[in-house]
Amino acid sequence: MPKGKKKQISINLLPKDPFFVSPVGRSMRWALGAGKYIVIFTEFIVIIAFLTRVALDQMVNNYDKAIDEKKTLIMDYAESERKIRVVQKKIDVLKTIDMQTDVAAVFPKLTATIPEEITLEQLTISTSDVTLVGYALSSEALTKLLNNYLLHPDFFNVDVNEIQAEVDDDEEDIGIYFSLTADIEREAGFIDKETDT
């Protein structure tokens, strides 16, 4: 006679709570299951934030150390920079004095090129050029003045800015008004320094 199949009997000693069968119970059970993963994810985020904070603190400390080292280096160079600035100021003062000496040395050579018939109203001297403004009693005197500058080896680029015949209130000729500019060549020795005075 064939043997009958054995039936497996499962016995649940814990009765089901009817609350978890209801929709509210099922929702709460799902929320509790999902809440475990949310807690784990939140803890993971907290751990990452903590590690990031530690790394950022280390970077800040490294930057602070680097800034302190640079600051110390700058302070070391500050004294050298101060000395360099003092030397630069002295050089500027010497250049100014040298320029004034050069300008003063121009006068003897200017007087040698200006005829007696020339009356100057304005004389401007710089380290690069001279400008003469005045009156010539005759055209011959003005021509002589121009020739003196054109033929002088230390004057170049002679430029006549203005020439105009001047008359007084009685319509009488009182001379020729002129304005001219000439460049001076420092390298050529026009401005000689008197070193042994």
How confident is the model over 124-140, as pLDDT tens digits? 877 778 899 998 988 88
Which residues lie below 8 Å from residue 93, measured CB to CB, with a gap of 6+? none
pLDDT digits (tens, 9 = 90+) for 147-172: 888 888 878 888 888 888 877 666 66
Query: Measured on CA atoms in the order 100, 104, 110, 115, is the torsion positive or negative?
Result: positive
Beta strands in the chain (DSSP E): 118-125, 129-136, 155-167, 173-184
Amino acid at 1: M
Residues contacting 17, CB < 8 A, separation 6+ = 25
Report the predicted TM-score, pTM, of the whole model to 2 decimal places: 0.44
Rounded to 5, what percent of the chain is helix, strand, coil? Answer: 55, 20, 25
* Residue 136: both structure tokens together: 């010539």
Residue identified by tokens 């040298």 is: 98
Please count the other Cβ atoms lying within 10 Å of the Cβ belonging to residue 136.
22
For the chain, the domains span 18-104, 105-184
Q: What is the pLDDT of residue 16?
A: 63
What fold is seen in the domain 105-184? Answer: Gyrase A; domain 2 (3.30.1360)
Counting as low any pLDDT under 70, the low residues of the chain are 1-7, 10-21, 25, 94, 96-105, 168-173, 185-197
In this predicted structure, what is the pLDDT of residue 97? 60
pLDDT the model gives residue 77: 79
Give the pLDDT confidence score for residue 183 in this predicted structure.
Answer: 87
